[in-house]
Structure 1
Amino acid sequence: MTDKQKVLVCGDVKGNFKALFSKIETINKKSGPFDFLLCVGDFFGKSNIELEPYKNGMRHISVPTYIIGPNTEAEIKHYPDIDGCEICPNLTYLGRRGLYNSSSGLKIAYVSGIENSDAQVDSNAYNFNQNDVSAIRDICLKGQPSFRGVDVLLSSPWPQDITNHDPNEPQFKYQGSKLIAWLAAHIKPRYHISGLEDIHYERPPYRNQAPNGDSIEIASRFIALAFVNNTQKKKWLYALNLTPVDRTRLCDLAQRTTDETQSPYPLSLLNSQHSNQTDEGKNTQFFYDMDSKDHNKRSKNREGFQKRPRPEFDQAKCWFCLSSPDVSKHLVISVGTEIYLALAKGGLVEDHLLILPITHHASLSILPETVAKEMKAYKKAITKYYASTDRVPVFFERNYKTSHCQLQAVPVHKNQEPTLREAFEELSQSNNFQLDELPPRSQLEQIAPAGTPYFYVELPNGEMLYHRIRKSFPIQFGREVLASDRILDMSDRVDWKDCQLDKEEETELAKKIRNQFQQYDPAA
């Protein structure tokens, strides 16, 4: 895979889906293939009938497309309840806020909605506050003492003061967000893309600032795009050709251009800290087949009707990132460079294991190459470990109502291997969905683009079964198959909550499995 990534960005679509996707298809054939299309501003419009052919499969979106969230209350109904969810094939809602790490290494930070400057009022589906931008800053900087910046920042509003120090002295007016300016100053995007104003504006590049002023900082380019298919023929589509910032030579990042200006943001922004409040006493759960909970209560607006609750996931508080203060470290079996191994909480059997990336990646399908390589090494080690007791591993992942990649490994006796595929297929049919076999040597990232909910299982003989989740899905499906009377005969252990141990018992069990696994440990 080449380091160069070809990315398209566009402004407010406002329901003009046919014009957008027809244009993208033409450009992709002529100048592609492009890796992403990123959209800012108002994606949906008053009428969204043009999206129906793409939803029902009559038309195809040629480039994987990622959008951010609503900017008004009226738009909320058009978005999925789950962050990182697919609206239709090749169209994914990124979520309210976060950092998307592509498999190529691109870092795309995003924040949905418009600014709510009152930090004491909870943000909702169509606005953000200072806690939201602080959380994004923390996600981007976590574990990176030599943080360079991100590749792209997506925000619908413009940052406040962005036209400062532009020698062209633009005269147009715009609604700028001081919180977006604060975020941009801290995470240093190479490209910052915004919409909403129906203005095409490309600011000359500016050099980011360091608090102490003695480090080499990258340059940023701000690009605002107009509405799709606007009658004034203002530019609404832009192409980028990017090498991920962490794979770019420092001397290239430091190289200056003749039109470069000083930063439009005051240095004081770097010295201001927005506190990111956390919930005390939250009942968190660790290392199991995790169900994502919507902790937001239904609330009534001024007219008295109820808003639809929207699940919120804050990557800064991820329970499975090893650096999190909330992680259950007493369950950890092994720690590598990119991967760690832990006992599943409430496991089917004593050595039911989870293979997890150390830093935040949402699913197997988007793991960077170095992480995926170490994941394979741990799978081989686990296979050898189970083989020492005449057992074989079943690896499965449910990328649905989860937040952090969790590849589960459950051992079954080798004599059960011939019945595994039939058991998975029978239970899927009884739940009215189909498991498809993936071709040998196929790549999951090609079949399940980022944001695609899916269930994936790898059988001991190397067969890979896959289901693309479109609506609901039985949360305990993988456990239920393996706990059936045909395999482990443990029907009373389908639900992890029925299998919990207290912390002292978990600690002793982890110590036992750690000692048994040590001779196979890739990190030893």
Structure 2
Amino acid sequence: MGRFVVLIEFKEFSMDEWSEKGCAYGGALGAERIQKHKRIERSFDDCSRCIDSSRLAKHNIIAVGINTYLAVVEWDGLDDEHLIIVPTQHCSSSIQLDENVWDEMRLWRKGLVALWKEQNRDCIFFEMSRHVDSNPHVYIECVPLEQEIGDMAPIYFKKAINECEGEYMDNKKLIETKDLRRQIPKGFSYFAVDFGLSNGYAHVIESHDHFPATFATEIIAGMLDLPPKKWRKRETDEMSKQKSRAEKFKQLWEPYDWTKRLKNSEATSSAGSSSSSSSKR
């Protein structure tokens, strides 16, 4: 049987040309991948959470660690000490973070729990990881609560999660989290909540239309008896109010600021290196 030799003529295309001709040359899947890549690039360019972004509200930052930072929210939060813990580099969910970044985020939580305990307050941490395919920048929200309200928070959230998204779902509605990063598959949208340093709950979001972005804030606002404007729409607050909240919390945070130990350690290490270099001369 004879052999057939197929000659294929290759032609160089720009990214725009390739995206237009993707269906013809690479198939629908190729064009889809190119569009997804472009969306991801745009998400980096437009991100207001990345530490190097020109859009980052640096005046709201309380402290910066190695891979993460702590900041007050730029909107009128559920409390004057409503905060966010954010990885410095772009990542769309906690379950995709490297282990060292995840561990560092836990350090902020421990410090905040200790701070609010001194105020006789409890606290809640939650993550709303929606539309992960559009590559948002993940952050953990931190809200202090009066002790008696904090004691009731698990009951409120358990009930709300069990009643969300209708009756029939492919995934279990309520996941009692012991290790979130091993309980939720990567690439899934989800909601997760922890109560202080205790284990919490998670929920895989199957329908974004039936699981609102305001799910957690609406529950907390109800517990705190706050008006709907506190959770319905997050509008950027006046700059003066943002700065005032940040300055006040910086003073509160100072005794718990573990990043100062890092800076002192770096300074000591640098001084030791300089001394060693001088002695060799």
TM-score normalised to the size of structure 1?
0.40
* Structure 2 equivalent of residue 173 of structure 1: 8
SS for the counterpart of 1:463 is: strand
Structure 2 residues not aligned, in runs of 5+: 16-24, 28-38, 167-171, 261-281
Please give the per-residue CA displacement for 1:110-138, whole angstroms capped at 9, x wherever unaligned: xxxxxxxxxxxxxxxxxxxxxxxxxxxxx
How much does 1:176 deviate? 4.3
Partner Cα distance (1:311, 1:377) in 2: 29
Partner Cα distance (2:181, 2:121) in 1: 29
Partner Cα distance (1:370, 1:387) in 2: 26
Q: Are the aligned partners of 2:154 and 2:200 in contact in 1 as well (CA < 8 Å)?
A: no
Q: Which amino acid aligns with 1:414?
A: Q
SS for the counterpart of 1:517 is: helix
* Structure 2 equivalent of residue 190 of structure 1: none
SS for the counterpart of 2:224 is: coil
Partner Cα distance (1:312, 1:489) in 2: 41
* Structure 2 equivalent of residue 445 of structure 1: 181
Q: 1:479 to 1:172 in 2, by over 3 A?
A: same
- 1:495 matched to 2:241? The reply is no
Q: Which has the higher helix share?
A: 2
Tell me which of 394, 408, 422 is aligned to 2:141.
408
Q: Are the aligned partners of 1:435 and 1:465 in contact in 2 as well (CA < 8 Å)?
A: no
How much does 1:496 deviate? 4.5
Q: Which has the higher strand share?
A: 1
Please give the per-residue CA displacement for 1:215-260, whole angstroms capped at 9, x wherever unaligned: xxxxxxxxxxxxxxxxxxxxxxxxxxxxxxxxxxxxxxxxxxxxxx
Partner Cα distance (1:462, 1:447) in 2: 16
Query: Which structure 2 residues correspond to residues 8-157 of structure 1 after superposition, within 5 A?
Result: none
Partner Cα distance (2:163, 2:6) in 1: 64
Q: Are the aligned partners of 2:124 and 2:144 in contact in 1 as well (CA < 8 Å)?
A: yes
* Structure 2 equivalent of residue 421 of structure 1: 154
- 1:515 matched to 2:238? The reply is no
**Residue correspondences, number:** 224
Tell me which of 332, 357, 363 is aligned to 2:87.
357
Structure 1 residues not aligned, in runs of 5+: 1-169, 181-195, 199-309
SS for the counterpart of 2:193 is: strand
CA-atom RMSD, angstroms?
2.6
* Structure 2 equivalent of residue 367 of structure 1: 97
The share of aligned pairs that are identical, in percent, is: 24
* Structure 2 equivalent of residue 44 of structure 1: none
Partner Cα distance (2:163, 2:177) in 1: 24
How much does 1:388 deviate? 1.4
Partner Cα distance (1:462, 1:495) in 2: 28
Structure with more contact order per residue of length (Cα contacts < 8 Å, sep ≥ 6): 2
- 1:326 matched to 2:59? The reply is no
Q: Are the aligned partners of 2:165 and 2:207 in contact in 1 as well (CA < 8 Å)?
A: no
Partner Cα distance (1:384, 1:517) in 2: 10
How much does 1:173 deviate? 1.7
Please give the per-residue CA displacement for 1:261-302, whole angstroms capped at 9, x wherever unaligned: xxxxxxxxxxxxxxxxxxxxxxxxxxxxxxxxxxxxxxxxxx
Query: Which structure 2 residues correspond to residues 293-308 of structure 1 after superposition, within 5 A?
Result: none
How much does 1:430 deviate? 4.4
Please give the per-residue CA displacement for 1:311-344, whole angstroms capped at 9, x wherever unaligned: 9942133111010001111111111110001111
Q: Which amino acid aligns with 1:324?
A: S
- 1:335 matched to 2:68? The reply is no
